[in-house]
Structure 1
């Protein structure tokens, strides 16, 4: 009996190890410890706001987002899906589509969709529609971010009240010393463009995405926000602006990175988020 028990125990350990080695992705804590999905999902379900920092073209990351949304809906009653991939002036189109008032064809013709919407984001939207999950368009309209990149944040003050309703309340403070923004300035050193304006354009995106979530915070919702990893890495960007308004908010951040070797977390990625999902550099891409 003892031999059988020991055999079963060893077989189970080998099976777990083999399963982990055969996965296309691996999950790490911010300290670099390899963990199983159960720990990540447990943390996801225990926090009010989850930022899933994606690599926009990585199909595996988008599949994981869908699994996470399904898990949230299974365990929580009030789930809100929000995302960078929709601009705030498309909210009416989104609501009308969710309510069945306009067709897929009309919605996709009128909304400003990213090129990979059909493969990477539509599955999330369909699940949200089928399960009556609100969807929040969190991003600033691109034309206004472009305006800031050319003329600076002050240019937004001249916009109409309707235009300003799609942007975080002005004026928006920008801390140019934040490592993410400072790094952006350093990377663009020597550019013919106004580097400060480019940072301000990034900041107004971050501030607007944070502001878009404010009305859902503290009301028993679980908010699942999808954005490029650089908008939430190192607890900066969107997270920094959200914390300015809701200092004690319960937030979990997830980052995705690509590595040739997924079986250890590279030093440069440690600490960028609460959990880091490592994907192989040759994993499927949508573009």
Structure 2
């Protein structure tokens, strides 16, 4: 009996080792310490707003988002899902679909869907629908961001009150000295485009995504927001605008990066978020 028990334990340990070795991703703290999902989930459940900075085409990152949303549902009463992947003027379509008033077919025909919506974002939306989790579309309509990239922020002042409902209240402050914005300007050197306008276009996206969450922060909701990593890395972007309005709010950030070797975090990625998920460079992609 003892031999049989020891054999079962040995087999279990081998199985655990195999799973650990085959794990496709690794989670690190800001300073590069390896942690497991339970530590990250515990921290998320203590935050008021969590930003998941994704690599848009990484399928593993999207699966992890769904696991976080499921964990939040189990542990929080009032949660809200938000996302960059829908623009604010699609909110009515989203609400009608979540309430079962329109079909998937009608919704997906009328909403401005990203190319990878079906494989990467629809699972999140379906879980939200099945569990009565509100969803807030946070992104500025791309047509307005495009105007800013060509003509600057001031051009938005000429748009109608109806148009401005989909934009953060104007004027917005743009701190061109933020490292992320400075880096963006540097990358555009010699491109022939107006670098300041491009930064302003990025800033109006960040400001609008932050503004879209104010209502739910005031309602004391626990918010899980999905966005590109560059919108929340280094606590800039959306986080900067949110903290301007709510300086004491408990924010947690997650960043995703790809590395050939996931067994340690590269120095360049340390400090960019509270948790950094390292994915292998050759992990599955949706496009």
CA distance in 2: counterparts of 1:18 and 1:270, whole angstroms: 28
Helix, strand or coil: the match of 2:283?
coil
Report the equivalent of 2:128: 128
Report the equivalent of 2:228: 228
Give the drift of 1:133.
0.4
Give the drift of 1:14.
6.9
Find out whether 1:63 has 2:63 as its counterpart: yes
Report the equivalent of 2:244: 244
* Aligned residue pairs, count: 285
Helix, strand or coil: the match of 2:112?
coil
Find out whether 1:259 has 2:259 as its counterpart: yes
Report the equivalent of 1:111: 111
Gaps of 5+ in 2: none
Report the equivalent of 1:138: 138
Cα deviations by residue, 1:132-190 (Å, 9 ceiling, x for unpaired): 00000000000000000000000000000000010000001100000000000011111
Helix, strand or coil: the match of 1:213?
helix
Give the drift of 1:37.
0.9
How high is the TM-score relative to the length of structure 2?
A: 0.95
Give the drift of 1:220.
2.8
Report the equivalent of 1:41: 41
Helix, strand or coil: the match of 1:125?
helix
Report the equivalent of 2:273: 273
Find out whether 1:191 has 2:186 as its counterpart: no
Helix, strand or coil: the match of 1:190?
coil
Give the drift of 1:218.
3.9
Gaps of 5+ in 1: none
CA distance in 2: counterparts of 1:230 and 1:160, whole angstroms: 30
Give the drift of 1:119.
0.5
Cα deviations by residue, 1:33-56 (Å, 9 ceiling, x for unpaired): 011111001001111100000000
Matches within 5 A, 1:145-160: 145-160=145-160
What value does the CA root-mean-square deviation take over the aligned residues? 1.9
Helix, strand or coil: the match of 1:240?
helix
Give the drift of 1:219.
2.5
Matches within 5 A, 1:202-217: 202-217=202-217
Matches within 5 A, 1:165-184: 165-184=165-184
Report the equivalent of 1:20: 20
Give the drift of 1:191.
1.2
CA distance in 1: counterparts of 2:28 and 2:15, whole angstroms: 20
Give the drift of 1:30.
0.5
